[in-house]
Structure 1
Amino acid sequence: MDLNKIVNEAMVSIQQDGFVEKIVKDRLQETLKKVVDDMFGSYGDFRKQLESEVKNKLNINLDKLNLGGYNLMVLNEVKLSLDRAMHIQGTEKIKEHLDELLTGAKSEYKLSEIIELFKEEANEDHEYDGEYIFFHCEQSRYSRGGGLAFIYFDKKEREEKYRCDYGLTVDLSDGSVKSVKVDGNDIDNEAIMRGFHGFERTMFQIFASGAKVIVDEDEVETSYGYDD
């Protein structure tokens, strides 16, 4: 038996079948895969170099950042958004209340009538029987007619008229109401959204409906009177 011949023929056959080429290719792929894994793996040199480079590029000095200014900017934007939402919701809320608040409003009131309504509510429990309200009316007349009446009143005596809980400013030329003070404050949108009741509602109706007020100062009765 010619052993060399057999080996040579086997090698030729293997070569023709591509066996050696396949083995070389597979081993080369395995080697390359291992090299890449080593470079990019958890402990690979390339990974370490890449991490180091990225950290250097992203090295932010927090002490130099104006975070206070940034926070203020964010807070201002949030406040602006809330203000917009509150304005939209508040406007809708005011619309809901207005029809109800203006129901029953009259086109004209006398000052003496307003004061009587005020006394009725203030002395509902008769705690002020026999006492007097604080009432002050001063008129500023114009040289060519007209003028303003500044009216201040409260449940009981005040040392200063400007500290009164209630007030009216009336244009004497046409009876229009220029300003109203209720419970120590001017009427604003926040107060409207909360709603008014009793005498405060009457004051709001006078102002919001454009009602006229006749300033019959001499007819105003400042005494609460007595419970019969």
Structure 2
Amino acid sequence: MDQLKEAVAAAFDKVVASGAIEEAIQKQIGAAVTAGIIEHLRDYSDFGKALKAKIGTLIEVDLDTLDLPSYRQLVGDVIKKRVGAVMSTEFTEKLDKDIAEMLAPAPATITLQELLDEFIESKKDAWNAHQLHGEKFTLNINRSDRHDGYIDISIDEDPDQERHTSCAVHLRIRGDGEVWGLSLAGDDIKNKIFVGPLFNFEKRLFQMYTAKTRLIIDADAEAEDFDTTFPYND
């Protein structure tokens, strides 16, 4: 028995000497301290609640006064950047050309034959250009018997359009040849708030109308005096 006691005492002394007990005590105390701190800092603890409240006051933001871009604005900005990125010299040159053409001044005078030549030229790029080759088109010339001396001229790619209102183009000329009235597809330009889009021959006519171009036509000229056949293109 005495020998057993001595052996246990010796073993214990050996464990104490190795620092194992001290290490175990430190480990356990450290775990207890850590657990206590974690518990004290939990969301539901008084300290945790107070800390959350304090942080909330520090980062509080008035969303009503915060200038956040809307989704629509962001999309618009992206589109603007993309469009700006793909702008090319070729595009700007074409735009300059179109603007220059649109702002080109109308002639002070033009003969009826020159006007018909422009009408024929404009049909070369039409969707039905191949169907017009060798076909007749309408030209009506009517002079007023009244003292005002108006001359009504109407043009249409279809033949035998006798009424001015049925023609694609109707010009009313007065005095010394001023283009005083213009109707396109039966619509009087004077009665339209917005005009457009106009292309080719129609745009040319509108320029003449706004510039009060003089249309020169012989006093005794009749529709039969002009060639009203679409030529065959080479």
Give TM-score, length-normalised by structure 2: 0.48
Q: Which has the higher contact order (CA 8 A, sep 6+)?
A: 1
TM-score by length of 1: 0.49
